[in-house]
Structure 1
Amino acid sequence: MGRFVFKLPDVGEGTAEAELVAWHVAVGDTVSEDQILADIMTDKATVELTSPVAGTVTALHGEPGVMSPVGGPLVEFEVEGAGNSESVAQNPSVSSQELGSTSPSASADGEETVLASPPHSQNGEVARSDSEVTEGLLAAPGNYVFKLPDVGEGTAEAELVAWHVAVGDTVTEDQLLAEVMTDKATVELTSPVAGVVTALHGDAGTQVPVGGPLVRFDVEGKGNVTASPPSNPAPQASVLPEGGQTTRTVSPPPGRRQAAQPPEAGKSVSRAPQTPGVRPLASPAVRKRARELGVELPFVPGSGPAGRIEHGDLDAFLAGGSRPAVPASTGSTYAPAEGTTEVRIIGLRRKIAEKMAESVRRIPHITYVEEIDVTALEDLRAHLNAQNKGSDRPKLTVLPFIARAIVVALRDQPQINSHYDDEAGVLTQHAAVHLGIAAQTPNGLMVPVVRHAEARDPYDTALEIARVSGAAKDGSAKREELTGSTITITSLGTLGGVVHTPIINHPEVAIVGPNKIEERVVVRNGQMVVRKMMNLSSSFDHRIVDGHDAAVFVQRIKGLLEQPATLWMG
């Protein structure tokens, strides 16, 4: 009999880790090849993992909710034959719980797999290569520095999003330390050792280079760095530059080794308010429960480490009337306000800001606005919805009709359904219309894609818009559902206002933005009449689309929407 270790495969480009959602097997189960083992979730999708071998499950690594690194062990099997982990099994210094946590290990295909956490042995010491022996002789006992690991192929640095520990905290091995964000994903970093945090390097929003120091620990046994003896053994705080980053260092009181105790019964729990524009910290279970309750997490103060939201925080929020706590006023309604509030733009909000800035910087925008009489369209839509009431057909909004008008108008101007590579000077025109739908989600602005809009009727279009937008909002959208759009619609719905200047979704060359529909008094045949009117705001890349062509495109859309019967003629 042999031993086989199944490791988390690469489940998406740029994905460094995935969350374990559920197990479908248990220790002792006999599984067949291709049998489902577990569900995992990345930032883009939920994936079912199947067994690559037939055998008996001897170990499962991780509980639901745990983040597992790509290449880390998930399931161990007893199989017929030699298996794939003989060399690991023969090394008595490595336990089954540490498989995948050591330095580069051989995978089944013979390639090396480098994991996120630094290598360590059973006694908490850092496993070092021969080239590190000399440095280790100089290392002071008890001092360990955790450096930012390689969190993705080609990543030279990552943004520190949030700390989950504070100076003076006692942490256990594999406890969550911090969240960092790359261009591809948000990664949770766990502690490679047990000890007391003596320094945190950098604040939220700081860019940390791969290999740069993140956390310094006081550990039992030998550490991995030379200590700088403090000038004063008493607790003190200082700010010291190290590696170009801000380092906050506090010497813990002598003998401090115990984790903070939970609050006594009857005492209030301090709950940290959330930062506007920053994704709140919460476990997947808490997020799911909040969605089911209809609670928006950014408004819920958290009582966990670094303001992490717990189930009790949800209960307290609901008990308070589902409203953020507002301090009682102590003065007149017209008392002058004092002070300022600084909010750092970090995480996904910063990525969105960079994307918008890049589009504006690289694309010379031309914006064209036209008003459209949608009275006939609204009458048709109301008629169809009433006719299909009680059927399995979806309720139609105005978006499927606008999508169809765009598809028809693009037939005469295919250069608008394009991607422009300004560095190579190449315009790629697409025959298929992959329609991006700009959607506001709890995680920020995303653009899910309705593929092949040219081949869909209004009901199919409505269903697909609802499906991909819903997936983007609940975090289940796959990578291919969030990329590849060729032209985008951005709608603010009933908040659409009178006019806006939409920013093009680079590298596309056009974006269409319907505004709200409202009744206005207009002149028709010399008479003042009330009609349902909608402004259409559109932006174009002026390097590719001339003003005349932009006007022709929008006027074609206007004609189709004002005479909706022509949308599906010819």
Structure 2
Amino acid sequence: MGTHVIKMPDIGEGIAEVELSQWHVKVGDMVVEDQVLADVMTDKAMVDIPSPVHGKVIALGGVPGEVMAVGSILISIEVEGAGNVKESAAPAAAPVKEAPAVTAPKVEPVVESKPVAAAPRPAAVCQGPMVAREANERPLASPAVRKHALDLGIQLRLVRGSGPAGRVLHEDLDAYLAQGQSNASSVSSAYIQRNDEEQIPVIGMRRKIAQRMQDATQRAAHFSYVEEIDVTAVEELRAHLNEKHGATRGKLTLLPFLVRAMVVALRDFPQINARYDDEAQVITRLGAVHVGIATQADIGLMVPVVRHAETRSLWDSAAEIARLATAARNGKASRDELSGSSITLTSLGALGGIVSTPVLNLPEVSIVGVNKIVERPMVIKGQIVVRKMMNLSSSFDHRVVDGMDAALFIQAIRGLLEQPATLFME
């Protein structure tokens, strides 16, 4: 038997260290070739580390949340044959020691403390088990008893009455208190006292999101602009296209129309389709429109990129958005699919609220946020009519984008969506 050591691979892009996000195996597990051993997080994406051999795990080189240098020992596996480690360096009979943290302290595992039980009360005479009445049932009790119960914070419907016809007496309140909190919790868990705590290490994707959001708010000069848009016409067009072509081409959401409106509007505002390298003090304006689509996945917020949106039809954009969103939610989006955007579109769909203040996805200088569609009475040509209205809540980097340009850009999107035929005019 020998030992096969797997080192943290060089993932490319000049990365010198990566974060160990999650183990899929533990010491003592048998693994097979191509089985995923661990997930590691780079600045851009989650990467699976597969096993190149069959064997038994004998040592792990780090803990989730640890930042490890490329080339450091990730895992040691006992294999048939000589392995890739000389006997003198790592005898097969002795387990390989775990590698220490390289640049970050180890993160303690999540620990959830149990609720602290209430101290027992002195023994007292109990009038019997508590009775849970219906919420609308008024228990019999004198005004004095009701006031006493109110002062004590007791719900009378939970107290067993020992008086005539089940009337609640002062003695019943005392007995209820003597029964302690354990009986109360068995009847109404909504009022149970809790003292448990949970510590959640900020690691993996959540750490990257936190770092990027903090970096964006500290480095960019954010300002937001909100505009109200009448989307009645574009929603009617969307419904018509879905009815006519949905069965053969797929259903359209509003997002492909928004992507198209951004593409057309950006022709007149190239400074908004840009990236800003604040260290080199260089603004790069792009002719291609690579639209990042903010997508909520189980591991956190991800931004897959619809590349060359300027070349795509509505259905092509819709299919690509759906494909990328599925890949991101399943953790299958590649690094290339998660990088290179020039402007981001973010939407919470039906939960989009009225107004939001989206955070820039650096090094981009703009992000367009979509709020929910609501029907509201509007005055058009002196008549009150019901229209479908939606807000765009967008943010810009004021170091690069002037307020007037940002407002005109969003106004251009508004005009295109309110007159959707203009989306396709050249």
Provide TM-score, normalisation by structure 1: 0.51
Describe the superposition over 1:24-48 as per-residue Cα deviations: whole angstroms up to 9, x where unpaired.
Answer: xxxxxxxxxxxxxxxxxxxxxxxxx
Alignment partner, residue 204 of structure 1: 64
Match of 2:47 among 186, 193, 199: 186
Contact 2:26–2:57 (CA under 8 A) maintained in structure 1 = no
Residue aligned with 1:414, SS: coil
Match of 1:516 in 2: 372
Query: Does the alignment pair 1:498 with 2:357?
Result: no
Q: 1:46-85, aligned counterparts within 5 Å?
A: none
Quick one: structure 1 residues 179 and 447, their matched pair in 2 at CA, closer, same or farther if it must change by over 3 Å? closer
Q: Contact 1:124–1:194 (CA<8 Å) still a contact in 2?
A: no
Label 1:200 to 1:518 Cα distance change in 2 as closer, same or farther (>3 A): same
Aligned position for 1:357 = 214
Give the counterpart letter for 1:533 in structure 2.
M
For residues 547 and 399 of structure 1, the distance between their equivalents in structure 2, rounded to whole angstroms, comes to: 25
Gaps of 5+ in 1: 1-122, 127-145, 227-240, 249-272, 276-328
Please state how far the C-alpha of 1:158 moved relative to its aligned partner.
3.3
Equivalence for 2:89: 224
Which gives a bigger RCO, structure 1 or 2 (Cα 8 Å, sep 6+)?
Answer: 2
Contact 2:20 2:62 in 1 (8 A): yes
Q: In 1, distance between residues paired with 2:198 and 2:49?
A: 28
Say if 2:37 is the partner of 1:159.
no
Q: Give the counterpart letter for 2:364 in structure 1.
A: E
Cross-structure match for 2:117: none
CA–CA distance in 1 between the matches of 2:62 and 2:255? 45
The aligned length equals 337
Q: Which residue of 2 aligns with 1:373?
A: 230
Q: 1:454 aligned to 2:310?
A: yes
CA distance in 2, matches of 1:173, 1:459: 42
SS of residue paired to 2:2: coil
Q: Which amino acid aligns with 1:359?
A: A
| Residue segments in structure 2 that go unaligned for 5+ positions in a row | 92-99, 113-184
CA distance in 2, matches of 1:463, 1:193: 40
Conservation of the 8 A alpha-carbon contact between 1:494 and 1:517: yes
SS at match of 1:505: coil
Is 1:522–1:528's contact at 8 Å kept on the other side of the alignment?
yes
Aligned partner of 2:406 among 550, 553, 565: 550
Are the counterparts in 2 of residues 148 and 208 from structure 1 also a CA contact under 8 Å? Answer: no
8 Å Cα contact 2:292/2:341 also seen in 1: yes
Q: Residues of 1 paired with 2:392 and 2:253: CA distance?
A: 16
Partner of 1:124: 2
- Match 1:335 to one of 192, 196, 219: 192
- Alignment-derived partner of residue 417 in structure 1: 273
- 2:2–2:78 contact (8 Å) kept in structure 1: no
Preserved contact between residue 37 and residue 48 of structure 2 (Cα < 8 Å):
no
- Is the CA contact 1:518–1:533 (under 8 Å) kept in the aligned structure 2? yes
Distance 1:521 1:180, change over 3 A: same
For the Cα contact (< 8 Å) 1:201–1:245, is it kept in 2?
Answer: no
Equivalence for 2:319:
463
Higher alpha-carbon Rg: 2
Secondary structure, in 3 states, of the residue corresponding to 1:416?
A: coil
TM-score after normalising by structure 2: 0.66
What are the superposed Cα offsets for residues 427-470 of structure 1, whole Å, 9 maximum, x if unpaired? Answer: 11112222222222345333222233223332333233233333
Is the 1:203–1:246 Cα contact (8 Å) retained in structure 2?
Answer: no
The one-letter code matched in structure 2 to 1:341 is E
Residue in structure 2 matched with residue 489 of structure 1 by the alignment: 345
Contact 1:162-1:180 within 8 A present in 2 as well: yes
Percent of aligned positions with the same letter in both sequences?
53
Q: CA deviation at 1:203?
A: 3.4
1:432 aligns with 2:288: yes
2:393 aligned counterpart, secondary structure: strand
Q: Counterpart of 2:425?
A: 569
Q: Which moved more, 1:175-184 or 1:445-454?
A: 175-184
Give the CA deviation at 1:195.
7.7
Aligned-partner residue type, residue 412 of structure 2 = R
Distance, in Å, in 2 between the alignment partners of 1:161 and 1:445 is 16
Aligned counterpart, 1:25? none
Q: CA deviation at 1:395?
A: 2.0
The structure-2 alpha-carbon separation of the partners of 1:562 and 1:171, relative to structure 1 and needing over 3 Å to count, comes to: closer
Q: Find the residue that maps to 2:251 and give its secondary structure.
A: coil
Structure 1 CA distance, aligned partners of 2:56 and 2:237?
68
RMSD: 4.0
1:381 offset after TM fit, Å?
1.9
Using the alignment, how far apart are the partners of 1:384 and 1:216 within structure 2? 57
Match of 1:285 in 2: none
More strand by share: 1
> How many angstroms does 1:481 deviate by?
3.4
SS at match of 1:353: helix
- Describe the shift of the 1:533–1:202 C-alpha distance in structure 2 as closer, same or farther (beyond 3 A): same
Q: 1:516 to 1:445 in 2, by over 3 A?
A: same
Say if 1:528 and 1:350 are closer, same or farther in 2 by CA, change over 3 A.
same
- Measure the CA separation in 1 of the matches of 2:385 and 2:22: 57
Indicate whether 1:383 and 2:240 are aligned: yes
The letter of the residue matching 2:20 is L
